[in-house]
């Protein structure tokens, strides 16, 4: 199926956008939240400075299909691993986790090996993000 032909390819999906840690730059997180909403998803945004525990708990309580984490401070390895652990502790490892922000290329394979579904960098077109997510969430 060609995802680009479907106008609202994320209809019926619930997605949590989270800002773990102390990084306060959230324009990227907000742009992604608005984009996913425009693509049909129900989007919840956590706001700033959430702990891994808080994010995992909201994800479980809200029954989301995916969690997007936005991190620009360089703490992505620790924070992503913390969120994945918290999800596992809640028996919710089926929730897909994707990551955006300042993620140096050499860290991508490490994050994938932890269980991250996709990594979105700032230069990636928003349509590609939507396409990729709708495919991963099928």
Partner 1 sequence: MNMRAPDSNLPLMEPVLSSRNRSGIEIPPSVDSSAVHADRIGSPGQYPFTRGIFPDGYQGRLWTIRQYSGFGTAEESNERYKFLLDQGQTGLSVALDLPTQCGYDPTHPMARPEIGKVGVSLSNLSEAEILFKDLDLASISTSFTINGTAAIIYAMYLAVADKQGVPRAKLTGTIQNDILKEYVARGTWIFPVRPSMRLIADSILYSNEVTPRFNPISIAGAHVRDAGATAAEEMAYTLANGLAYVDELRSRGGDVEKFAKRLSFFFYVHMDFFEEIAKFRAGRRLWARFMKERYGVQDAKAQHLRFGVVCGGSSLVAPQPYNNVVRVAVETMAAVFGGAQSIFTCALDEAFQIPTEFSAELAVRTQQMIAYESGIARTVDPLGGSYFLEEHTDRMEEMILKVMREIDSYGGMEKAIEDGWIQMRLAERGLERKLDTDAGLNVIVGQNHFSKADEEIKIGELFTLDPTIAQRALEKYQRTLDTRNAAEVQRTLASLSQAAANDGENVMPYLVDCCHAYATVEEMVNTLKQQWGEFKEPVNL
Would you tell me which residues interact with partner 1 (CB under 8 A)? 2-4, 21-27, 30-31, 33-35, 37, 43, 45-49, 51, 73-75, 78-79, 82, 102, 104-106, 121-128, 131-132
Angle, nearest 10°, between helix axes 27-38 and 126-136?
Answer: 60
CB nearer to partner 1: pick between 66 and 94: 66
**Going by DSSP bridges, is the β-strand pair 118-120/42-45 parallel, antiparallel, or unpaired?**
unpaired
Question: Cβ 131 to partner 1, closest distance in Å?
Answer: 6
Question: Cβ 22 to partner 1, closest distance in Å?
Answer: 4
Angle at 76 between CA 43 and CA 111, to 5 degrees: 90
CA–CA separation, 53 and 92 (whole Å): 13
CB nearer to partner 1: pick between 5 and 94: 5
CB 26 within 8 A of CB 49: no
Question: Cβ 94 to partner 1, closest distance in Å?
Answer: 25
Question: Cβ 123 to partner 1, closest distance in Å?
Answer: 5
CB nearer to partner 1: pick between 94 and 99: 99
CB nearer to partner 1: pick between 23 and 94: 23
Question: How many other β-carbons are positioned within 10 Å of the β-carbon of residue 52?
Answer: 21
Structure token pair of residue 51 = 């702990």
């Amino acid at each position: 199926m060609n995802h680009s032909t479907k106008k609202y390819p994320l209809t019926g999906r619930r997605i949590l956008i989270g800002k773990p840690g102390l990084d306060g730059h959230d324009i990227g997180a907000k742009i992604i939240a608005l984009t996913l909403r425009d693509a049909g998803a129900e989007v919840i945004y956590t706001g700033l400075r959430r702990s891994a525990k808080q994010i995992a708990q909201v994800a479980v309580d809200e029954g989301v299909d995916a969690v997007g984490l936005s991190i620009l401070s360089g703490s992505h390895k620790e924070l992503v691993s913390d969120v994945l652990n918290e999800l596992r502790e809640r028996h919710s490892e089926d929730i897909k986790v994707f990551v955006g922000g300042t993620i140096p290329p050499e860290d991508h394979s490490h994050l994938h090996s932890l269980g991250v579904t996709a990594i979105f960098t700032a230069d990636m077109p928003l349509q590609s993000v939507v396409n990729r997510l709708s495919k991963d969430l099928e």
